Amino acid sequence: MHKPKTFEAALGKFRHCYGRDPALVAYAPGRVEVLGNHTDYNEGLVLSAAIDYGTCFAVAPSTGSACRLTAGDLMREVRFEVRHPGPSRTDSWANYCTGVLAGLLPRGAFPHGFDALFFGNIPLGSGLSSSAALEIATALALARLYGIAADPVSLARIAQQAEHTFAGVKCGLLDQISSLFGRDGMLVQTDFRSLEIRHAPLGAGAVLLICNTHAKHALVDGEYNQRRADCEAAAAFFRTRLPHPVAALRDVSWTEWEAHRGGLDERIARRAAHPIGENERVVQGAERLAQGDLEGFGRLMFASHESSRRYFENSCGELDHLVDTARGVPGVLGARLSGGGFGGSVAVLVRTPDAAAASSALAAAYAARYGKPCDIRVIHPSAGARLVETR
């Protein structure tokens, strides 16, 4: 398998910092959520993809128990003891790595520290989950360095826990699963109750455009956690009203939501509507892909964004403007916000021959409205996280 785009740069930076080669390098891609927004922690369904942008984590053992960790973009180093990693208040980027180390500690022996450096090309705050890519690359590298046997789902859970306890975001498993289980040309279809993972071909006739608005992506400010709490409150309500078991909003149908929404606080009813509707859209979306119906799949993407805007209120003006513009651009099949929301990126499904013209049209419309550029990248569903041969 070919080496990631960031591999040589990460290798050079590691040599510059530590005066030697790393013992091993792990790579993990970012992800784009294509359909199924905020459904993962509601035990629901998601269609996502690993993308062809990611993060390399290079590491070598040290002689003592001290660890040195360098952010390759900042060329800034933090130090800690291998058996006592803790959250940092001043260098919050390190928490994604130290949190993973803390999760691995109960699984093995750590007789020495390490020197490590990470470097990636996922735009920060773009909604493409640079944080999960860093967590998964760290987990793969440290598990191999210390001889820890852990299956991919266990590594995903360790990475998720790092985000909960060290970074302060109560994320689901979507980002980590997508990064681990990506395949070239395929969407990752995940059931977050059973953790059954399938793959669905996107098809050669279309690609994804990722339009980064540079709008604030403020999950740690509490909006994400509040949405999750509202979903849990809604599930608790439906548990008392429906004649069948309700473990999570996955168990509530749209028809049931319509019948009982009047008993809920109005805000919580709106919040619940979004993941309930999203689960049904993912089921329909998988059927459309199996039939090669990209137009039908695209319509579901537009419907998903409208649900985000109307019910979950995790969109913003910049995202809405791009999606509204996309509806009138030739070759565009669908568009929606991707990821947690509150800023970040829009994913646009476009016919492959129309990708360049659609990118220009969307960029021009965004600049005309906001007076600043919107970064647009063509994204190909790509292979998942892996160790990289260093020779």
How many angstroms separate the CA atoms of 39 and 57, rounded? 29
List the CATH code of the domain at 7-201+382-388: 3.30.230.10
Q: Is the pTM of this model over 0.85?
A: yes
For residue 182 the two structure tokens come to 């990506």
How many angstroms separate the CA atoms of 211 and 46, rounded? 20
> Domain coordinates of the chain in residue numbers?
7-201+382-388
Residues 6 or more apart in contact with residue 129 via CB below 8 angstroms = 30, 31, 122, 175, 178, 179, 339
Are the C-beta atoms of 195 and 205 separated by less than 8 Å? no
pLDDT at 221: 57
Asked about 175 being catalytic, the answer comes back as yes
Query: Out of 40, 52, 175, 230, which one is annotated catalytic?
Result: 175
Per-residue pLDDT of the chain (391 residues; tens, 9 = 90+): 678 889 999 999 999 999 999 999 999 999 999 999 999 999 999 999 999 999 999 999 999 999 999 999 999 999 999 999 999 999 999 999 999 999 999 999 999 999 999 999 988 767 788 999 999 999 999 999 999 999 999 999 999 999 999 988 877 789 999 999 999 999 999 999 999 999 999 988 999 999 999 887 545 457 878 999 999 999 999 999 999 999 999 999 999 999 999 999 999 999 999 999 999 999 999 999 999 999 999 999 999 999 999 999 999 999 999 999 999 999 999 999 988 888 889 999 999 999 999 999 999 999 999 999 899 999 999 999 999 987 6
Burial category of 190 from C-beta neighbours within 10 Å (exposed 0-12, middle 13-18, buried 19 and up)? buried
pLDDT at 1: 61
